[in-house]
Amino acid sequence: MSKLNCQIFLSGNGSNLKNIIQKVDSGFLQNIHIHTVITDNPGAEGLRYAHERNISTKIISDVYGYEDISLDIKKYNIDLIVLAGFMKILPKYFVEHHDGKIINLHPSLLPKHRGLDTHKRVIQSGDSLHGASVHFVTEKLDEGPVFIQGVIEVKESDTVSSLKKSVHNIEYQILPIAMRWFSEQLIEKNGKYFNFRGVLEKEPIRYL
| Residue 113 annotated to the active site | no
- Stretch of residues binding ligand GAR (CB under 6 A), selected from 30-38, 50-58, 164-172, 196-204: 164-172
- Residues 21-60 touching ligand GAR, rule: CB under 6 A, are 46
- Stretch of residues binding ligand GAR (CB under 6 A), selected from 33-41, 103-111, 123-131, 188-196: 103-111
Query: Which among 106, 113, 130, 135 is annotated as catalytic?
Result: 106
**95 counts as binding ligand GAR under rule CB under 6 A:** no
Please, what is the end-to-end C-alpha distance for the chain in angstroms?
29
CB 88 within 8 A of CB 11: yes
Q: Using the rule CB under 6 A, which residue among 6, 79, 122, 171 binds ligand GAR?
A: 171
Cα(173)–Cα(20) distance, integer angstroms? 10
**106 counts as binding ligand GAR under rule CB under 6 A:** yes
DSSP letter for 196, please. E
Is residue 22 within a helix (H) or strand (E), and if so which, with residue range?
helix 15-26
**13 counts as binding ligand GAR under rule CB under 6 A:** yes
Question: Minimum distance from CB of 45 to ligand GAR (Å)?
Answer: 8
Cα(144)–Cα(34) distance, integer angstroms? 24
DSSP letter for 132, please. E
Cα(185)–Cα(169) distance, integer angstroms? 25
| # residues contacting ligand GAR (CB under 6 A) | 17
Write out the catalytic residue numbers: 106
